[in-house]
Amino acid sequence: METTLRGVGVSHGVAIGEVRHMGTAVLEPPAKQIPAEEAEREQARARRAVEAVAADLMARGNLAGGEAQAVLEAQAMMAQDPELIADVERRIAVGSTAERAVYDAFASYRALLAGAGEYLAGRVADLDDVRNRIVARLLGVPMPGVPDSDEPYILIARDLAPADTALLDPTLVLGFVTEEGGPTSHSAILARALGVPAIVALPGAGELSEGTEIAIDGSSGEVFVDPSAEKRAALEADAAARKAALSASSGPGATSDGHTVPLLANIGGPGDVAAAVAAGAEGVGLFRTEFLFLDDSARAPSEEKQTAAYRQVLEAFPQGRVVVRVLDAGADKPLEFLTPADEPNPALGVRGLRSLLDHPDVLRTQLTALARAAEGLPVHLEVMAPMVADRADAKAFADACREAGLHAKFGAMVEIPSAALRARSVLQEVEFLSLGTNDLAQYTFAADRQVGAVSRLQDPWQPALLDLVAMAAEAGRAEGKSCGVCGEAASDPLLACVLTGLGVTSLSMGAASIPYVRTTLAKYTLAQCERAAAAARATESADEARAAAQAVLSGE
Protein backbone atom coordinates (compact mmCIF):
# COMPACT_ATOMS: atom_id res chain seq x y z
CA MET A 1 0.00 0.00 0.00
CA GLU A 2 1.40 3.37 -1.02
CA THR A 3 2.37 5.73 1.79
CA THR A 4 3.92 9.19 1.65
CA LEU A 5 6.68 10.55 3.90
CA ARG A 6 8.05 14.08 3.85
CA GLY A 7 11.54 15.35 4.59
CA VAL A 8 13.45 18.34 3.27
CA GLY A 9 14.17 18.28 -0.45
CA VAL A 10 17.69 19.54 -1.07
CA SER A 11 18.55 18.46 -4.62
CA HIS A 12 16.14 18.53 -7.58
CA GLY A 13 15.01 15.53 -9.54
CA VAL A 14 12.95 12.36 -9.26
CA ALA A 15 14.32 8.88 -8.60
CA ILE A 16 12.53 5.51 -8.38
CA GLY A 17 14.32 2.43 -7.12
CA GLU A 18 14.92 -0.07 -4.35
CA VAL A 19 16.22 0.85 -0.90
CA ARG A 20 19.82 0.05 0.05
CA HIS A 21 21.19 1.03 3.43
CA MET A 22 24.56 2.58 4.14
CA GLY A 23 27.02 0.09 5.64
CA THR A 24 28.62 0.96 8.97
CA ALA A 25 31.77 -0.14 10.70
CA VAL A 26 31.83 -1.80 14.12
CA LEU A 27 31.41 1.35 16.17
CA GLU A 28 32.51 0.31 19.65
CA PRO A 29 35.60 -1.86 20.11
CA PRO A 30 35.88 -4.03 23.24
CA ALA A 31 37.39 -2.47 26.35
CA LYS A 32 40.39 -4.48 27.53
CA GLN A 33 43.65 -3.66 29.24
CA ILE A 34 47.07 -4.17 27.65
CA PRO A 35 50.39 -4.73 29.45
CA ALA A 36 52.54 -1.61 29.83
CA GLU A 37 55.22 -3.06 27.54
CA GLU A 38 52.73 -3.11 24.62
CA ALA A 39 51.86 0.59 24.88
CA GLU A 40 54.52 1.79 22.46
CA ARG A 41 53.49 -0.76 19.84
CA GLU A 42 49.81 0.21 20.20
CA GLN A 43 50.66 3.90 19.90
CA ALA A 44 52.51 3.18 16.68
CA ARG A 45 49.49 1.21 15.38
CA ALA A 46 47.22 4.14 16.15
CA ARG A 47 49.51 6.61 14.38
CA ARG A 48 49.72 4.40 11.28
CA ALA A 49 45.93 4.03 11.14
CA VAL A 50 45.43 7.78 11.49
CA GLU A 51 47.90 8.52 8.71
CA ALA A 52 46.36 5.86 6.45
CA VAL A 53 42.85 7.25 6.92
CA ALA A 54 44.05 10.82 6.36
CA ALA A 55 45.84 9.74 3.17
CA ASP A 56 42.70 7.92 1.96
CA LEU A 57 40.57 11.01 2.55
CA MET A 58 43.06 13.19 0.67
CA ALA A 59 43.09 10.71 -2.22
CA ARG A 60 39.28 10.70 -2.36
CA GLY A 61 39.38 14.48 -2.41
CA ASN A 62 41.82 14.54 -5.32
CA LEU A 63 39.50 12.22 -7.26
CA ALA A 64 36.39 14.25 -6.50
CA GLY A 65 37.85 17.76 -7.04
CA GLY A 66 36.00 21.02 -6.51
CA GLU A 67 34.20 21.73 -3.25
CA ALA A 68 34.28 18.04 -2.32
CA GLN A 69 38.07 18.09 -2.33
CA ALA A 70 38.19 20.93 0.19
CA VAL A 71 35.66 19.21 2.45
CA LEU A 72 37.58 15.94 2.44
CA GLU A 73 40.87 17.69 3.04
CA ALA A 74 39.30 19.33 6.08
CA GLN A 75 38.30 15.85 7.30
CA ALA A 76 41.86 14.63 6.80
CA MET A 77 43.10 17.48 8.99
CA MET A 78 40.52 16.49 11.59
CA ALA A 79 41.98 12.97 11.65
CA GLN A 80 45.46 14.37 12.22
CA ASP A 81 44.49 16.88 14.91
CA PRO A 82 47.50 16.96 17.30
CA GLU A 83 45.34 17.24 20.43
CA LEU A 84 43.25 14.23 19.46
CA ILE A 85 46.34 12.16 18.69
CA ALA A 86 47.92 13.19 22.00
CA ASP A 87 44.76 12.13 23.83
CA VAL A 88 44.80 8.77 22.05
CA GLU A 89 48.41 8.19 23.07
CA ARG A 90 47.68 9.15 26.69
CA ARG A 91 44.86 6.62 26.85
CA ILE A 92 47.08 3.89 25.39
CA ALA A 93 49.79 4.72 27.96
CA VAL A 94 47.39 3.85 30.78
CA GLY A 95 46.32 0.52 29.28
CA SER A 96 43.82 1.02 26.43
CA THR A 97 44.15 -0.74 23.11
CA ALA A 98 44.72 1.49 20.09
CA GLU A 99 41.17 1.06 18.80
CA ARG A 100 39.55 1.67 22.19
CA ALA A 101 41.71 4.73 22.78
CA VAL A 102 40.67 6.18 19.41
CA TYR A 103 37.02 5.49 20.15
CA ASP A 104 37.15 7.10 23.61
CA ALA A 105 39.24 10.11 22.55
CA PHE A 106 36.85 10.93 19.71
CA ALA A 107 33.85 10.43 22.02
CA SER A 108 35.34 12.93 24.45
CA TYR A 109 35.87 15.51 21.70
CA ARG A 110 32.36 14.87 20.39
CA ALA A 111 30.93 15.60 23.85
CA LEU A 112 32.84 18.89 23.94
CA LEU A 113 31.27 19.95 20.66
CA ALA A 114 27.79 19.04 21.87
CA GLY A 115 28.40 20.96 25.09
CA ALA A 116 29.31 24.06 23.08
CA GLY A 117 25.71 24.44 21.95
CA GLU A 118 26.03 22.06 18.99
CA TYR A 119 27.04 24.85 16.63
CA LEU A 120 29.41 22.30 15.13
CA ALA A 121 26.73 19.61 14.82
CA GLY A 122 27.37 19.34 11.10
CA ARG A 123 31.00 18.61 11.83
CA VAL A 124 30.01 15.94 14.38
CA ALA A 125 28.93 13.71 11.49
CA ASP A 126 32.33 14.28 9.88
CA LEU A 127 34.05 13.49 13.19
CA ASP A 128 32.10 10.25 13.60
CA ASP A 129 33.06 9.19 10.09
CA VAL A 130 36.76 9.80 10.74
CA ARG A 131 36.55 7.84 14.00
CA ASN A 132 34.76 4.91 12.33
CA ARG A 133 37.34 4.77 9.56
CA ILE A 134 40.27 4.71 11.98
CA VAL A 135 38.64 2.12 14.25
CA ALA A 136 37.67 -0.05 11.26
CA ARG A 137 41.25 -0.02 10.02
CA LEU A 138 42.58 -0.98 13.45
CA LEU A 139 40.03 -3.80 13.83
CA GLY A 140 40.54 -5.02 10.28
CA VAL A 141 36.85 -4.76 9.35
CA PRO A 142 35.29 -3.15 6.24
CA MET A 143 35.21 0.60 6.11
CA PRO A 144 31.84 2.34 6.40
CA GLY A 145 30.51 3.29 3.02
CA VAL A 146 27.99 2.82 0.25
CA PRO A 147 26.75 -0.75 -0.36
CA ASP A 148 28.05 -2.92 -3.17
CA SER A 149 25.40 -3.38 -5.85
CA ASP A 150 25.33 -4.14 -9.55
CA GLU A 151 21.86 -2.59 -9.88
CA PRO A 152 20.91 1.07 -9.38
CA TYR A 153 19.35 1.89 -6.00
CA ILE A 154 18.29 4.67 -3.62
CA LEU A 155 20.66 5.04 -0.69
CA ILE A 156 19.29 5.40 2.85
CA ALA A 157 21.50 6.57 5.72
CA ARG A 158 21.35 8.21 9.13
CA ASP A 159 23.63 10.84 7.65
CA LEU A 160 26.16 10.87 4.84
CA ALA A 161 29.75 11.83 5.49
CA PRO A 162 31.48 13.95 2.85
CA ALA A 163 33.85 11.08 2.03
CA ASP A 164 30.87 9.00 0.91
CA THR A 165 28.82 11.73 -0.77
CA ALA A 166 31.71 13.07 -2.82
CA LEU A 167 32.33 9.81 -4.64
CA LEU A 168 28.78 8.58 -5.18
CA ASP A 169 28.37 7.02 -8.61
CA PRO A 170 25.25 8.65 -10.12
CA THR A 171 24.84 5.68 -12.49
CA LEU A 172 24.24 3.42 -9.46
CA VAL A 173 23.01 5.76 -6.72
CA LEU A 174 19.79 7.15 -8.16
CA GLY A 175 19.24 9.37 -5.14
CA PHE A 176 19.62 9.39 -1.37
CA VAL A 177 17.59 9.99 1.77
CA THR A 178 19.00 10.73 5.24
CA GLU A 179 17.41 10.92 8.68
CA GLU A 180 19.60 13.82 9.75
CA GLY A 181 21.26 16.82 8.12
CA GLY A 182 19.87 20.10 6.87
CA PRO A 183 19.45 21.95 3.58
CA THR A 184 22.86 23.59 3.94
CA SER A 185 24.82 20.58 5.25
CA HIS A 186 27.82 19.27 3.35
CA SER A 187 25.79 16.32 2.08
CA ALA A 188 23.13 18.61 0.60
CA ILE A 189 25.65 20.91 -1.07
CA LEU A 190 27.59 18.01 -2.56
CA ALA A 191 24.37 16.31 -3.74
CA ARG A 192 23.42 19.42 -5.67
CA ALA A 193 26.90 19.55 -7.18
CA LEU A 194 26.52 15.93 -8.33
CA GLY A 195 22.99 16.47 -9.64
CA VAL A 196 21.68 13.58 -7.52
CA PRO A 197 18.10 13.90 -6.13
CA ALA A 198 18.32 14.07 -2.34
CA ILE A 199 16.13 14.43 0.74
CA VAL A 200 17.41 15.08 4.27
CA ALA A 201 15.88 15.34 7.76
CA LEU A 202 13.38 12.52 7.15
CA PRO A 203 12.47 10.95 10.53
CA GLY A 204 12.32 7.17 10.37
CA ALA A 205 14.17 6.85 7.08
CA GLY A 206 16.32 4.11 8.59
CA GLU A 207 13.19 1.99 9.18
CA LEU A 208 12.56 1.57 5.45
CA SER A 209 13.22 -2.09 4.69
CA GLU A 210 16.05 -3.16 2.44
CA GLY A 211 14.72 -3.81 -1.05
CA THR A 212 11.54 -1.78 -0.64
CA GLU A 213 10.67 0.22 -3.75
CA ILE A 214 10.40 3.95 -3.15
CA ALA A 215 10.13 7.07 -5.27
CA ILE A 216 11.69 10.33 -4.12
CA ASP A 217 11.11 13.89 -5.29
CA GLY A 218 14.13 16.01 -4.41
CA SER A 219 12.20 19.22 -5.03
CA SER A 220 9.20 18.60 -2.75
CA GLY A 221 10.97 16.40 -0.19
CA GLU A 222 8.36 13.65 -0.65
CA VAL A 223 9.13 9.93 -0.41
CA PHE A 224 6.51 7.55 -1.81
CA VAL A 225 6.83 4.05 -0.33
CA ASP A 226 5.59 1.24 -2.61
CA PRO A 227 4.33 3.77 -5.18
CA SER A 228 1.31 2.77 -7.23
CA ALA A 229 1.55 2.35 -10.98
CA GLU A 230 -0.33 5.64 -11.37
CA LYS A 231 2.10 7.48 -9.07
CA ARG A 232 5.11 6.02 -10.87
CA ALA A 233 3.69 7.05 -14.24
CA ALA A 234 2.94 10.56 -13.01
CA LEU A 235 6.41 11.01 -11.53
CA GLU A 236 8.12 9.61 -14.62
CA ALA A 237 6.06 11.86 -16.90
CA ASP A 238 6.89 14.88 -14.75
CA ALA A 239 10.59 13.98 -14.78
CA ALA A 240 10.58 13.53 -18.57
CA ALA A 241 8.82 16.86 -19.13
CA ARG A 242 11.24 18.59 -16.79
CA LYS A 243 14.23 17.03 -18.55
CA ALA A 244 12.94 18.15 -21.97
CA ALA A 245 12.39 21.70 -20.71
CA LEU A 246 15.84 21.81 -19.18
CA SER A 247 17.56 20.62 -22.33
CA ALA A 248 15.81 23.39 -24.28
CA SER A 249 16.78 26.02 -21.72
CA SER A 250 19.57 28.40 -22.65
CA GLY A 251 20.55 32.05 -22.61
CA PRO A 252 20.52 34.69 -19.88
CA GLY A 253 18.13 34.48 -16.96
CA ALA A 254 14.97 36.53 -17.47
CA THR A 255 11.26 36.61 -16.78
CA SER A 256 8.83 36.01 -19.64
CA ASP A 257 8.43 39.76 -20.17
CA GLY A 258 12.16 40.36 -20.47
CA HIS A 259 13.15 41.48 -16.97
CA THR A 260 16.76 40.24 -16.71
CA VAL A 261 17.97 38.33 -13.66
CA PRO A 262 21.57 37.14 -14.16
CA LEU A 263 21.99 33.51 -13.10
CA LEU A 264 25.41 32.96 -11.57
CA ALA A 265 27.23 29.97 -10.10
CA ASN A 266 28.50 29.26 -6.60
CA ILE A 267 31.93 27.65 -6.77
CA GLY A 268 34.67 26.54 -4.40
CA GLY A 269 37.61 26.76 -6.76
CA PRO A 270 38.89 26.09 -10.28
CA GLY A 271 37.59 22.51 -10.15
CA ASP A 272 33.99 23.73 -10.21
CA VAL A 273 34.36 26.02 -13.22
CA ALA A 274 33.65 23.46 -15.97
CA ALA A 275 30.24 22.54 -14.54
CA ALA A 276 29.34 26.22 -14.17
CA VAL A 277 30.24 26.97 -17.78
CA ALA A 278 28.38 23.88 -19.02
CA ALA A 279 25.25 24.97 -17.14
CA GLY A 280 25.32 28.35 -18.86
CA ALA A 281 26.24 30.39 -15.79
CA GLU A 282 26.55 34.08 -16.62
CA GLY A 283 29.39 34.40 -14.18
CA VAL A 284 30.22 33.54 -10.59
CA GLY A 285 28.09 34.94 -7.79
CA LEU A 286 30.01 33.33 -4.95
CA PHE A 287 33.61 32.16 -5.14
CA ARG A 288 34.21 30.54 -1.75
CA THR A 289 37.93 31.21 -1.39
CA GLU A 290 38.20 29.54 2.03
CA PHE A 291 38.57 26.16 0.34
CA LEU A 292 41.98 27.28 -0.92
CA PHE A 293 43.01 27.95 2.67
CA LEU A 294 42.00 24.53 3.99
CA ASP A 295 45.02 22.83 2.41
CA ASP A 296 47.09 23.83 5.44
CA SER A 297 45.32 25.10 8.56
CA ALA A 298 48.62 26.25 10.08
CA ARG A 299 49.38 28.98 7.54
CA ALA A 300 47.77 30.96 4.76
CA PRO A 301 48.59 30.05 1.14
CA SER A 302 51.21 32.24 -0.50
CA GLU A 303 50.26 35.22 -2.63
CA GLU A 304 51.56 33.35 -5.69
CA LYS A 305 49.42 30.27 -5.02
CA GLN A 306 46.33 32.41 -4.47
CA THR A 307 46.98 34.48 -7.59
CA ALA A 308 47.22 31.36 -9.77
CA ALA A 309 43.97 29.86 -8.42
CA TYR A 310 42.03 33.11 -8.75
CA ARG A 311 43.26 33.70 -12.31
CA GLN A 312 42.07 30.25 -13.41
CA VAL A 313 38.54 31.19 -12.39
CA LEU A 314 38.66 34.72 -13.78
CA GLU A 315 39.90 33.51 -17.16
CA ALA A 316 36.91 31.17 -17.48
CA PHE A 317 34.46 34.08 -17.58
CA PRO A 318 35.77 36.69 -20.02
CA GLN A 319 33.44 39.68 -19.99
CA GLY A 320 31.49 37.96 -17.20
CA ARG A 321 30.94 38.89 -13.59
CA VAL A 322 32.95 37.10 -10.89
CA VAL A 323 32.09 37.84 -7.26
CA VAL A 324 34.80 36.70 -4.86
CA ARG A 325 34.14 36.29 -1.15
CA VAL A 326 37.29 36.91 0.84
CA LEU A 327 38.26 34.29 3.40
CA ASP A 328 35.32 33.25 5.55
CA ALA A 329 36.96 31.39 8.42
CA GLY A 330 35.81 30.57 11.92
CA ALA A 331 32.85 28.69 13.41
CA ASP A 332 32.55 25.47 11.36
CA LYS A 333 35.61 26.40 9.25
CA PRO A 334 38.36 26.99 11.84
CA LEU A 335 41.91 27.75 10.73
CA GLU A 336 44.77 27.30 13.16
CA PHE A 337 46.55 30.51 12.14
CA LEU A 338 43.42 32.65 12.25
CA THR A 339 40.67 31.31 14.51
CA PRO A 340 40.60 31.72 18.31
CA ALA A 341 40.75 28.32 19.97
CA ASP A 342 38.78 29.05 23.14
CA GLU A 343 35.57 30.74 22.03
CA PRO A 344 32.52 29.51 23.97
CA ASN A 345 30.27 30.01 20.91
CA PRO A 346 32.22 30.29 17.66
CA ALA A 347 29.08 31.10 15.66
CA LEU A 348 28.80 34.38 17.54
CA GLY A 349 32.48 35.08 17.87
CA VAL A 350 35.42 36.14 15.75
CA ARG A 351 34.64 34.81 12.27
CA GLY A 352 34.51 36.10 8.71
CA LEU A 353 35.49 39.74 8.32
CA ARG A 354 36.14 40.01 12.07
CA SER A 355 38.98 37.48 11.78
CA LEU A 356 40.45 39.29 8.78
CA LEU A 357 40.39 42.68 10.46
CA ASP A 358 42.24 41.09 13.39
CA HIS A 359 44.82 39.72 10.90
CA PRO A 360 45.19 42.52 8.32
CA ASP A 361 48.22 40.86 6.73
CA VAL A 362 46.08 37.86 5.68
CA LEU A 363 43.44 40.15 4.17
CA ARG A 364 46.05 42.33 2.45
CA THR A 365 47.73 39.31 0.86
CA GLN A 366 44.43 37.98 -0.46
CA LEU A 367 43.34 41.33 -1.88
CA THR A 368 46.75 41.84 -3.50
CA ALA A 369 46.55 38.37 -5.05
CA LEU A 370 43.12 39.16 -6.46
CA ALA A 371 44.40 42.42 -7.93
CA ARG A 372 47.28 40.57 -9.61
CA ALA A 373 45.01 37.81 -10.88
CA ALA A 374 42.71 40.30 -12.61
CA GLU A 375 45.49 42.23 -14.35
CA GLY A 376 44.94 42.39 -18.12
CA LEU A 377 41.62 40.51 -18.03
CA PRO A 378 38.30 41.98 -19.19
CA VAL A 379 36.40 40.21 -16.39
CA HIS A 380 34.16 42.25 -14.10
CA LEU A 381 35.69 41.47 -10.70
CA GLU A 382 33.71 42.13 -7.55
CA VAL A 383 34.99 41.38 -4.04
CA MET A 384 32.82 41.06 -0.96
CA ALA A 385 33.29 40.60 2.77
CA PRO A 386 31.49 37.94 4.84
CA MET A 387 29.74 38.62 8.15
CA VAL A 388 29.36 42.38 7.79
CA ALA A 389 27.38 43.70 10.76
CA ASP A 390 27.21 47.45 10.15
CA ARG A 391 28.55 50.46 8.27
CA ALA A 392 31.80 50.44 10.26
CA ASP A 393 32.54 46.90 9.06
CA ALA A 394 31.74 47.87 5.47
CA LYS A 395 34.00 50.91 5.64
CA ALA A 396 36.90 48.93 7.11
CA PHE A 397 36.65 46.42 4.26
CA ALA A 398 36.35 49.05 1.53
CA ASP A 399 39.36 50.90 2.97
CA ALA A 400 41.41 47.68 2.95
CA CYS A 401 40.48 47.04 -0.71
CA ARG A 402 41.56 50.53 -1.74
CA GLU A 403 44.82 50.28 0.23
CA ALA A 404 45.62 47.02 -1.59
CA GLY A 405 45.21 48.75 -4.96
CA LEU A 406 42.27 46.56 -5.94
CA HIS A 407 40.39 47.85 -8.98
CA ALA A 408 37.05 46.15 -8.46
CA LYS A 409 33.63 46.70 -6.96
CA PHE A 410 33.58 46.24 -3.18
CA GLY A 411 30.54 44.65 -1.58
CA ALA A 412 29.14 43.26 1.65
CA MET A 413 27.37 40.02 2.42
CA VAL A 414 24.10 40.30 4.29
CA GLU A 415 24.18 37.35 6.68
CA ILE A 416 23.42 39.13 9.94
CA PRO A 417 19.98 40.68 10.51
CA SER A 418 21.56 44.01 11.51
CA ALA A 419 23.03 44.34 8.00
CA ALA A 420 19.61 43.82 6.42
CA LEU A 421 17.92 46.22 8.82
CA ARG A 422 20.50 48.93 8.12
CA ALA A 423 21.28 48.03 4.51
CA ARG A 424 21.07 51.62 3.26
CA SER A 425 23.68 52.61 5.82
CA VAL A 426 25.98 49.76 4.73
CA LEU A 427 25.55 50.81 1.09
CA GLN A 428 27.07 54.20 1.86
CA GLU A 429 30.43 52.39 1.99
CA VAL A 430 30.12 49.60 -0.59
CA GLU A 431 28.77 49.19 -4.11
CA PHE A 432 26.65 46.05 -3.82
CA LEU A 433 25.03 43.61 -1.40
CA SER A 434 24.85 39.82 -1.59
CA LEU A 435 22.42 37.93 0.63
CA GLY A 436 23.81 34.76 2.20
CA THR A 437 20.47 33.21 3.07
CA ASN A 438 21.99 30.17 4.83
CA ASP A 439 23.60 32.19 7.63
CA LEU A 440 20.92 34.88 7.53
CA ALA A 441 18.33 32.22 8.42
CA GLN A 442 20.62 30.78 11.08
CA TYR A 443 21.04 34.11 12.84
CA THR A 444 17.47 35.29 12.34
CA PHE A 445 15.95 32.20 13.96
CA ALA A 446 18.80 31.13 16.29
CA ALA A 447 18.74 27.81 14.42
CA ASP A 448 22.04 26.09 13.62
CA ARG A 449 22.12 25.45 9.88
CA GLN A 450 23.67 21.99 10.42
CA VAL A 451 21.08 20.63 12.89
CA GLY A 452 18.25 18.68 11.32
CA ALA A 453 16.05 19.07 14.42
CA VAL A 454 15.60 22.78 13.67
CA SER A 455 15.34 22.46 9.88
CA ARG A 456 11.88 24.05 10.01
CA LEU A 457 13.56 27.30 11.03
CA GLN A 458 16.26 27.01 8.36
CA ASP A 459 13.62 26.97 5.61
CA PRO A 460 14.30 30.00 3.37
CA TRP A 461 10.54 30.31 2.79
CA GLN A 462 10.09 31.62 6.34
CA PRO A 463 8.18 34.93 5.97
CA ALA A 464 10.49 36.70 8.43
CA LEU A 465 13.47 35.83 6.24
CA LEU A 466 11.62 37.05 3.15
CA ASP A 467 10.99 40.32 4.99
CA LEU A 468 14.73 40.79 5.54
CA VAL A 469 15.47 39.99 1.90
CA ALA A 470 12.88 42.57 0.85
CA MET A 471 14.42 45.20 3.13
CA ALA A 472 17.90 44.66 1.68
CA ALA A 473 16.61 44.66 -1.91
CA GLU A 474 14.65 47.86 -1.31
CA ALA A 475 17.77 49.51 0.12
CA GLY A 476 19.70 48.53 -3.00
CA ARG A 477 16.97 49.94 -5.23
CA ALA A 478 16.87 53.20 -3.25
CA GLU A 479 20.65 53.61 -3.52
CA GLY A 480 20.80 52.55 -7.17
CA LYS A 481 22.98 49.54 -6.32
CA SER A 482 22.64 45.81 -6.86
CA CYS A 483 21.46 43.27 -4.29
CA GLY A 484 21.85 39.60 -5.21
CA VAL A 485 21.27 36.29 -3.45
CA CYS A 486 24.11 33.76 -3.24
CA GLY A 487 22.68 31.48 -0.54
CA GLU A 488 21.09 28.10 -1.22
CA ALA A 489 17.65 29.76 -1.42
CA ALA A 490 18.42 30.78 -5.01
CA SER A 491 18.55 27.12 -6.10
CA ASP A 492 14.81 26.62 -5.47
CA PRO A 493 13.11 27.52 -8.79
CA LEU A 494 9.84 28.65 -7.20
CA LEU A 495 11.63 30.67 -4.53
CA ALA A 496 13.85 32.19 -7.23
CA CYS A 497 10.70 33.71 -8.74
CA VAL A 498 9.70 35.08 -5.33
CA LEU A 499 13.18 36.52 -4.74
CA THR A 500 12.94 38.22 -8.14
CA GLY A 501 9.59 39.64 -7.08
CA LEU A 502 11.18 40.96 -3.88
CA GLY A 503 13.60 43.01 -5.98
CA VAL A 504 16.69 40.82 -5.95
CA THR A 505 18.90 41.68 -8.94
CA SER A 506 20.82 38.41 -9.44
CA LEU A 507 20.68 34.80 -8.30
CA SER A 508 23.66 32.56 -7.62
CA MET A 509 23.49 28.82 -6.97
CA GLY A 510 25.14 25.45 -7.53
CA ALA A 511 25.66 24.85 -11.25
CA ALA A 512 23.22 21.92 -11.38
CA SER A 513 20.33 24.17 -10.32
CA ILE A 514 20.82 26.85 -12.99
CA PRO A 515 18.78 25.16 -15.78
CA TYR A 516 15.87 24.53 -13.36
CA VAL A 517 15.81 28.16 -12.25
CA ARG A 518 16.23 29.54 -15.78
CA THR A 519 13.34 27.43 -17.10
CA THR A 520 10.98 28.30 -14.25
CA LEU A 521 11.75 32.01 -14.23
CA ALA A 522 11.06 32.24 -17.96
CA LYS A 523 7.44 31.08 -17.41
CA TYR A 524 6.35 34.14 -15.46
CA THR A 525 6.23 37.92 -15.80
CA LEU A 526 7.85 40.25 -13.30
CA ALA A 527 4.39 41.31 -12.12
CA GLN A 528 3.48 37.68 -11.40
CA CYS A 529 6.71 37.26 -9.42
CA GLU A 530 5.92 40.41 -7.45
CA ARG A 531 2.41 39.18 -6.63
CA ALA A 532 3.80 35.81 -5.56
CA ALA A 533 6.33 37.55 -3.31
CA ALA A 534 3.64 39.69 -1.69
CA ALA A 535 1.45 36.62 -1.12
CA ALA A 536 4.32 34.71 0.49
CA ARG A 537 5.17 37.58 2.84
CA ALA A 538 1.54 37.85 3.95
CA THR A 539 1.57 34.34 5.46
CA GLU A 540 2.64 33.02 8.87
CA SER A 541 4.80 30.00 8.04
CA ALA A 542 7.19 28.62 5.47
CA ASP A 543 4.68 26.03 4.24
CA GLU A 544 1.98 28.68 3.88
CA ALA A 545 4.38 31.00 2.05
CA ARG A 546 5.34 28.30 -0.43
CA ALA A 547 1.71 27.35 -1.04
CA ALA A 548 0.65 30.98 -1.46
CA ALA A 549 3.37 31.68 -4.02
CA GLN A 550 2.54 28.49 -5.90
CA ALA A 551 -1.14 29.43 -5.98
CA VAL A 552 -0.39 32.86 -7.47
CA LEU A 553 1.97 31.52 -10.11
CA SER A 554 -0.35 28.68 -11.11
CA GLY A 555 -3.24 31.11 -11.47
CA GLU A 556 -5.38 29.58 -8.74
How much is the pLDDT for 112? Answer: 67
Beta carbons within 8 Å of 55's beta carbon, 6+ residues apart: 76
Q: Which pLDDT score, from 0 to 100, does residue 145 have?
A: 73
pLDDT, the chain, mean:
88
Question: Is residue 155 within 8 Å of residue 146, measured between CB atoms?
Answer: yes
Sheet holding 198-200, edge to edge: 3-6, 222-225, 213-217, 14-21, 153-157, 173-178, 198-200, 8-11
Q: What are phi and psi of 385, to 5 degrees?
A: -105, 140
Confidence at residue 386, expressed as pLDDT on a 0 to 100 scale? 97
Amino acid at the residue 481: K
* CA angle in degrees (0–180, nearest 5) for 395-401-406: 150
Mean pLDDT on 326-350: 79
Q: Specify which residues 156 forms β-bridges with.
A: 21, 177
DSSP-assigned letter for residue 541: S
Q: Whole-angstrom Cα distance, residue 132 to residue 46? A: 13
Beta bridge partners of 382: 323, 409
**pLDDT > 90? residue 146:** no
Report pLDDT digits (tens) over 22-41.
876 556 888 889 999 999 99
CB 405 within 8 A of CB 371: yes
What does the pLDDT average to over 55-61?
A: 82
Residue 113 has pLDDT above 60, yes or no: no
Phi first, then psi: give them for residue 236, nearest 5 degrees.
Answer: -65, -40
User: What pLDDT score does 114 carry?
Assistant: 54
Side-chain half-sphere exposure of 111, counting CA atoms within 13 A? 6
User: Beta strand pairing status for 213-217 and 222-225?
Assistant: antiparallel
Axis-axis angle for helices 360-374, 303-315 (nearest 10): 40
Which of 105-114, 149-158, 487-496 is predicted least confidently? 105-114
CA distance 139 to 129: 15
Query: Residue 40 is which amino acid?
Result: E
pTM reported for the whole predicted model: 0.71
pLDDT, tens digit, 9 for 90 and up, residues 200-249: 989 889 899 888 999 999 988 999 999 999 999 998 888 887 777 777 77
Other residues' Cβ atoms within 10 Å of the Cβ of residue 114:
12
Would you please indicate which residues are annotated as catalytic (active-site) residues?
A: 186, 486
pLDDT, greater one: 62 or 532: 532
Res 283: pLDDT: 95
CB 318 within 8 A of CB 283: no
| Structure confidence by residue, pLDDT tens digits, 475-522 | 999 999 999 999 879 988 999 999 999 999 999 998 888 998 999 999
Long-range contacts: 137-141, Cβ < 8 Å, 24+? 137/49, 137/52, 137/53, 138/29, 138/45, 138/46, 138/49, 138/98, 138/99, 138/102, 139/25, 139/26, 139/29, 139/99, 141/25, 141/26
Q: How many CA atoms are closer than 13 Å to the CA of 554, on its beta-carbon side?
A: 8
Confidence (pLDDT) at 511: 87
